[in-house]
Chain A
Amino acid sequence: MSRLRFAIALALAAAGLGPSAPMLLGFKWDPPRSFDAAQEADLLYGSAHTWLPSRVGFCSDVPREVIDRISPNDRMAWRIAQRFRSQYALAPAICVAVLGQPSNGQRDPSEANRTARLAELDTVLVLARPDSTCWEGAVKAGFRPTGSAGPTVIFRRWER
């Protein structure tokens, strides 16, 4: 009797592994949560300039409506970083983001400071509209465009 009870307990416990089983067949995980673009950009920028070994980064200046168009459940920077990763063989974490002109039209108060810090970088990948302050800032900091890709969002690789 006790063996039967223990066998039932084992079966119940094994049911807990059920949620992991679909992974074995290659099913994909839930879509990643969305993140606030401004917060994401702040974090990326605030972090990347402090450690970049090869002094590489990217700027993003994506209006909120563009981010929303990419996918409401997706992470803007994730998608971008994956593309950067595949095209430039850069780790996604090698990023620095600058929000030049948020979609509400208000300028980021720390933008000047951020643009100045671009000068610390040797290479920067820019995700920006050509008329944006981010673009202008990168030009002022001595970068130039070298390429573009992607129909949905515009991005350029800049090299000093």
Chain B
Amino acid sequence: MSMLAVALALASSLGLLLAAALLSGIEARARWILALAFAFPLGLGITGLSLLAWRTMGGSVSWNGSLPELAGLTVLAGLSWRIAQSSSRHVRDTSRCLPWSRGGFGYAAGCLGAALIVMIATAVLVRNAPSGQWDAWAMWNMKGRMLARSSDWSKVFDPELPQPDYPLLLPACVARLLALAPGSGTAGPGAIAILFAASTVVVPAATLYAVSGPRTALLGALLAGGGPRLAQQAATQYADVPVGLYFATGIGLMLIARSYDDRGSALLGGVALGLAAWTKNEGIAMVVGGGLVFAVALAWEGGITRLRRLGGPVLAGALILMFPLILLQTAAPPGYMATDGLVAKLVRLLDFDRWKVVASELASWSDPRENQAPWLLVTAVAVAGIRPRLRGGRFVLGTVSVCLAADVLAYLVSPLALEWQLETSLSRVLLQLWPAAVIGAVSVVRSEEPGDQPIPFRASVITNQPGTHYP
């Protein structure tokens, strides 16, 4: 257990230093709050990918090799932070958005309290079912054990396995923990599930703190923690909560990049979206949808100059991870979507009855008797009031809408039995979008905080002048 704690601490330290390095253009207080919030998902994801890279190059996984490798990565991240800190000339002033007062500490404590409730709830559920539910057993954790222990890692693509085409980030994270703490058994995947659940509260809160202020952050933390069966879904140890968290992290960082005209945040946002694609197939739609909506938003407000300035780093961050993903997935057998051709898919797409079934399931998901979370979100935002300028929120909600449309399209063309597929996956798919939807919805709330008074976009801001931000 102690080795497991060391492994998680090392991975989080790596994420903390990397985030601090890339966010070096943000004022120190905001930077470290954001870096702490993003530390676990980014650090664990990157250490998982480094293990996968090592395995694909023929290396074996062992404690002896993993500990120095992870320590080396952490030192490298620390060095890059030092270099970034010393070379950063323009630091954005975030003080308009981050009033630091006794009240601010109270709001921060509220956010941490919400995360703690979700964390404990997930931990109780994990204790009751330490191996999670079926897919965790059959796919995510099992492939993690294969990556950690099998002499031939490529057997994770065995067509006999369930969903052999799924990307391997989560199994690689499990394998990393198994390599560092070989005796941890089910504790590693359980700990990952608990920390991902807590981060699902912390990441939206930190993002909203940075772009608006502590009151809005608390509202976001409470709404994110009240996501539809969040603790239960996290405790299943499926990939839905992690992919939703990476999506929210990417979108949140892009919102911060847009607010403060900060390229480091944009690059890290692209990396987070790439991690979403590595987590689950839906993550690819998140990369494409997030990238497209962000590009349109940037071009709309600042033309090609702003698009290149902030869109370029997002694209670079995502491509760094997407390129090896595409290479690796060529080794995987085709998924169920490839079992028939385009014509059959078009026939299903044009079947009006399938549209009715999907609409009916979406309606029953949002029935307040079944699921209160979306109604609480809408009501809380409506009661608090909406501020007049909605640019940031529009970008996030636009991205969530595009991803939802992609999910609906996937259901409509899927060769699997539609009713069964909706019954077994719709609630999980919608939960993937929940934390990002909370960021989008709450970022438009009128909170009477400094972030409510936006500075209109000015061309001079592109020249990287401090003390300006876009709402």
Contacts and interface: CB of A to CB of B under 8 A. Distances in A.
A8 B383 contact: yes
Interface stretch (B92-100, B124-132, B269-277): B124-132
Contacts of B232: 29-30
Interface of A: 2-3, 5-6, 8-10, 12-21, 23-24, 26-30, 32-33, 35, 40, 43-44, 46-48, 50-51, 53, 75, 78, 81, 91-93
Interface residues on B, range: 35 or more
A50 B160 contact: yes
Given A43-B138, A51-B142, A51-B146, A17 B185 contact: no
9 contacts: A2-B448, A6-B215, A13-B219, A13-B223, A18-B226, A40-B134, A43-B162, A46-B158, A50-B155
A17 B381 CA distance: 16
A50 B118 CA distance: 36
B230 A20 contact: yes
A61 B190 CA distance: 29
Contact of B155 (A3, A19, A24, A51): A51
B131 A81 contact: yes
A13 B149 CA distance: 44
A23 B121 contact: yes
Contacts, number: 139
A78 B137 CA distance: 10
A48 B447 CA distance: 54
B284 interface: no
Contact of B384 (A5, A16, A46): A5
A110 to B, nearest CB: 10
A91 B125 CA distance: 18
Given A5-B383, A51-B150, A93 B117 contact: no
B235 interface: yes
B379 interface: yes
B359 interface: no
Interface in B106-139: 114, 117-118, 120-122, 124-125, 128-129, 131, 133-134, 137-138
- Please classify the interface of chain A as helix (H, G, I), strand (E, B), loop, or mixed, using the class held by over half of its residues: helix
Contacts of B218: 10
Given A15-B226, A93-B137, 9 more contacts: A2-B385, A16-B223, A20-B225, A24-B120, A33-B134, A40-B134, A46-B158, A47-B160, A53-B145
A21 to B, nearest CB: 7
The 4 closest A-B pairs by CB, nearest first: A16-B226, A23-B121, A13-B222, A53-B149
Contact of A32 (B133, B373, B384, B447): B133
Interface in B184-217: 185-186, 215
Contacts of B235: 29
Interface of B: 114, 117-118, 120-122, 124-125, 128-129, 131, 133-134, 137-138, 141-142, 145-146, 149-150, 155, 158, 160-162, 185-186, 215, 218-219, 222-223, 225-227, 229-232, 235, 372-373, 376-377, 379-381, 383-385, 445-448
Interface centre among A12, A27, A40, A48, by most chain B C-beta atoms within 10 angstroms, is A12
Contact of B150 (A5, A9, A50): A50
A93 B158 CA distance: 17
B125 A29 contact: yes
A47 B161 CA distance: 5
Contacts of B226: 13-20
Contacts of A19: 226, 229, 231
A18 B117 CA distance: 10
Given A6-B215, A17-B114, A24-B120, A91 B445 contact: no
B373 A93 contact: no
Nearest to B227: A16
Contacts of A51: 142, 145-146, 149-150, 155
A6 B230 contact: no
Contacts of A91: 131, 145, 185-186
A12 B374 CA distance: 11
Contacts of A53: 145, 149-150
B186 A9 contact: no
A49 to B, nearest CB: 9
B185 to A, nearest CB: 5
A23 B119 CA distance: 10
A81 B445 CA distance: 49
